[in-house]
């Protein structure tokens, strides 16, 4: 039978006080879980069943039955005034609950496999409410979805795709002499997709995070055309760490919206270098996405490999908590306190775990990752789960001998590294910062490796829920 919390006088008093004070309750007040007292315990208008985990092996809710059957974290809908019934099934034998704060609706926390609990509440007002698991870490890990009461408005906000594909690497320079290389970079401010259902205003180079990877040869002269879009709200500039001279170019490029300029520089030293906007507040511009990498190849070029990838890490500071849907706002205060809500590879939460942005390779191939940290503030302990870096060009020095057989390598903000490894075993390898709390704030990328199993290297029986 239904599990109901007793109606309390306290709850009623709180409501009355709130109403008397004219408090604009942002969420629909509800007689959540109070139907046990009501003589007219109405039959639910809408009923949903959710199972924890389902067969996904992940920390999510999965819909059971009806239109939401099999859907991960389905959006539930109701009309204002509806009596909503949600049945929660424990599908993974782990401790979970389901909570909707604004509607005062919550199951208890329970761990027993296949146990069910039913909550019934009234959705008195239109709005968009997050349902989530309140066990620490579970919401961040993915256990949340939306209950939309009435017309959907800001929930599930959509913005431009600002994710730079990790495959977007220019061709090797090869064995050529120095040249004049022309590059065009445009500062663009765009409302982009930060996470599923969440958007924010990004500052970008050429519309993506990171900006385009530039690839030149040592001694090349680069003629860089820099423009700030007319639609911009802020001035922007570019400082390339590959440049020798004041501001790394920033002194020539601080442009107001609509302006354009050209400057040239000679790439004196090989290496993989960060570039970024250097317009105050610099940390703000970087946090919002204004960074990229420029590779200066040594004479003769780098050794060929089978696959090359381009990945950059950054933090994002929003007023709203991690996972809040809708349009979210930059928080200067959190930035100064160095308390990001999101950590991202290539601009958006979990972007490189999505089908369209995953990296792919075959057993027997060699991969090279050009990895940089835009930051602005956090050092990355860069690691690929399940792999050992055969070679690390520590601090992106291409003129020193590489380190060999490295598990995790430090990359400073405004710094980079080049790692190389051969693929011996098929499976899913996860790019992380081994400060792993950050994985629960959006920081992960998948490298999918196909090929024949290699039981002489690794063998066993797969277990569920390992997250790999
Ligand atoms: Cu949980
Ligand atoms: Cu800027």
List pLDDT tens digits, range 274-288.
999 999 999 999 999
For 214-243, letters b (16+ CB in 10 Å) and e give: bbbbbebebebebbbbeebebbbbbbbbbb
The number of domains in the chain is: 1
The pLDDT assigned to 40 comes to: 45
Full residue range of the structural domain in which residue 83 is found: 38-152
For residue 282, report the distance from its CA to the centre of ligand 1, in Å.
38
For residue 201, report the distance from its CA to the centre of ligand 2, in Å.
12
For the CA atoms of 435, 437, 441, 444, what is the dihedral angle to 10 degrees? 50
Mean pLDDT, range 404-415, rounded to an integer: 98
278/349 Cα distance (integer angstroms): 24
91 found inside a domain: yes
Question: In this structure, which ligand is nearest to the CA of 90?
Answer: 1
For residue 432, report the distance from its CA to the centre of ligand 1, in Å.
22
For residue 212, report the distance from its CA to the centre of ligand 2, in Å.
15
Q: Answer for the pair 441, 424: CB distance below 8 angstroms, yes or no.
A: no
The pLDDT assigned to 11 comes to: 45
For residue 346, report the distance from its CA to the centre of ligand 2, in Å.
17
For residue 443, report the distance from its CA to the centre of ligand 1, in Å.
20
Mean pLDDT, range 314-326, rounded to an integer: 95
96 found inside a domain: yes
The pLDDT assigned to 261 comes to: 98
For residue 134, report the distance from its CA to the centre of ligand 1, in Å.
7
For residue 196, report the distance from its CA to the centre of ligand 2, in Å.
25
End-to-end CA distance of the chain: 38
For residue 137, report the distance from its CA to the centre of ligand 1, in Å.
8
Q: Answer for the pair 344, 353: CB distance below 8 angstroms, yes or no.
A: no
* pLDDT at position 452 over 50: yes
401 found inside a domain: no
Question: In this structure, which ligand is nearest to the CA of 58?
Answer: 1
For residue 59, report the distance from its CA to the centre of ligand 1, in Å.
7
Question: In this structure, which ligand is nearest to the CA of 59?
Answer: 1
* pLDDT at position 119 over 70: yes
Question: In this structure, which ligand is nearest to the CA of 53?
Answer: 1
239 found inside a domain: no
Q: What is the CATH number of the domain that holds 87?
A: 2.60.40.420
Mean pLDDT, range 310-325, rounded to an integer: 96
Question: In this structure, which ligand is nearest to the CA of 139?
Answer: 1
The pLDDT assigned to 129 comes to: 87
For residue 167, report the distance from its CA to the centre of ligand 2, in Å.
25
**Exposed / middle / buried, residue 95 (Cβ in 10 Å: 0-12, 13-18, 19+):** middle
88 found inside a domain: yes
For residue 290, report the distance from its CA to the centre of ligand 2, in Å.
6
Give the model confidence (pLDDT) of 147-183 as tens digits: 988 875 545 688 999 999 999 999 999 999 999 999 9
Kindly report the length of the chain: 468
Please provide the average confidence, as pLDDT, over all residues in the chain.
Answer: 90
The pLDDT assigned to 16 comes to: 44
302 found inside a domain: no
For residue 454, report the distance from its CA to the centre of ligand 1, in Å.
35
For residue 207, report the distance from its CA to the centre of ligand 2, in Å.
13
141 found inside a domain: yes
81 found inside a domain: yes
């Amino acid at each position: 039978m239904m599990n109901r919390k007793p109606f309390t006088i306290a709850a009623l008093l709180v409501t009355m006080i709130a109403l008397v004070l004219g408090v604009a309750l942002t969420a629909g007040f509800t007689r959540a879980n109070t139907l046990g007292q009501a003589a007219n315990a109405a039959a639910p208008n809408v009923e949903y069943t959710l199972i924890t985990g389902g067969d996904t092996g992940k920390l999510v809710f999965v819909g059971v039955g009806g239109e939401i059957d099999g859907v991960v974290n389905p959006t539930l809908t109701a009309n204002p005034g509806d009596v909503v019934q949600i049945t929660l099934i424990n599908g993974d034998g782990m401790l979970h609950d389901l909570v909707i704060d604004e509607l005062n609706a919550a199951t208890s926390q329970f761990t027993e496999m296949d146990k069910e609990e039913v909550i019934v509440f009234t959705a008195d007002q239109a709005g968009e409410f997050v349902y989530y698991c309140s066990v620490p870490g579970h919401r961040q890990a993915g256990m949340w979805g939306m209950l939309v009461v009435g017309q959907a408005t800001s929930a599930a906000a959509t913005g431009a795709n600002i994710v730079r594909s990790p495959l977007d690497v220019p061709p090797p320079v090869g064995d050529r002499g120095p040249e004049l290389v022309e590059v065009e970079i445009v500062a663009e401010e765009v409302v982009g997709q930060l996470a599923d259902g969440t958007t924010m205003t990004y500052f970008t180079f050429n519309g993506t995070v990171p900006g385009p990877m530039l690839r030149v040869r040592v001694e090349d002269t680069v003629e860089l055309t820099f423009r700030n879009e007319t639609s911009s709200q802020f001035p922007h500039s570019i400082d390339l760490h590959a440049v020798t001279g004041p501001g790394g170019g920033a002194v020539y490029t601080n442009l107001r919206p609509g302006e354009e300029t050209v400057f040239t520089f000679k790439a004196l030293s090989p290496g993989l270098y960060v570039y970024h906007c250097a317009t105050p507040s610099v940390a703000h511009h970087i946090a919002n996405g204004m960074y990229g990498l420029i590779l200066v190849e040594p004479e003769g070029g780098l050794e060929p490999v089978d696959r090359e990838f381009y990945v950059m890490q950054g933090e994002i500071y929003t007023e709203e908590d991690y996972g809040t849907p809708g349009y979210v706002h930059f928080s200067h205060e959190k930035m100064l306190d160095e308390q990001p809500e999101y950590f991202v590879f290539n601009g958006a939460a979990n972007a490189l775990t999505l089908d369209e942005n995953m990296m792919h390779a075959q057993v027997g191939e060699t991969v090279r990752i050009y990895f940089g940290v835009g930051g602005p503030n956090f050092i990355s302990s860069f690691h690929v789960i399940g792999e050992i870096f055969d070679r690390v060009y520590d601090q992106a020095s291409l003129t020193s001998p590489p380190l060999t057989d490295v598990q995790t390598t430090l990359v400073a903000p405004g710094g980079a590294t080049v790692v190389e490894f051969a693929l011996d075993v098929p499976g899913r390898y996860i790019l992380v910062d081994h400060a792993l709390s950050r994985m629960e704030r959006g920081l992960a990328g998948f490298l999918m490796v196909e090929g024949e199993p290699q039981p002489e290297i690794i063998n066993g029986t797969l277990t569920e829920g390992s997250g790999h």
